[in-house]
Amino acid sequence: MKYTVLWRPSAEQALAGLWTAAPDREAVARAADRIDSLLARDPVSCGESRSGNTRIPIVEPLAVYYEAQPDDRRVWVFSVWQRQA
């Protein structure tokens, strides 16, 4: 069963800013789409774990901070940033 992936408004705004400023907008769009797909399928094991149900996956050139809520089958993305290689 899939999870619903929800982005906080501040995370959506940050993603829009990263996309606007990116030299390769397509790479940012692909990474955001891939993150949504991964989180919808299996957010409980995606990325690196943090405290509680929070995790950080990295899909170049982006990383996000999110919390999975298994009981509600929801994922909340709190922040997104461009990963520095």
pLDDT in the model for residue 41: 96
Domain ranges of the chain: 4-82
Q: Tell me: pLDDT of 10 over 70.
A: yes
pLDDT band at 85 (very low <50, low <70, confident <90, very high): low
CB-based burial label for 14 (10 Å; 0-12, 13-18, 19+): buried
Pick the CATH number of 4-82 from 3.60.20.10, 3.30.2310.20, 3.30.1330.20, 3.40.630.30: 3.30.2310.20
pTM over 0.85: yes
Q: Tell me: pLDDT of 47 over 80.
A: yes
Q: How far apart are CA 33 and CA 6, in angstroms?
A: 13
Q: From its phi and psi, is residue 73 left (phi > 0), alpha (psi between -120 and 50) or beta?
A: left
pLDDT (tens digit, 9 = 90+) per residue, 21-33? 999 999 999 999 9
For residue 2, the surrounding DSSP H or E stretch is none
Q: Are 72 and 2 in contact (CB under 8 A)?
A: no
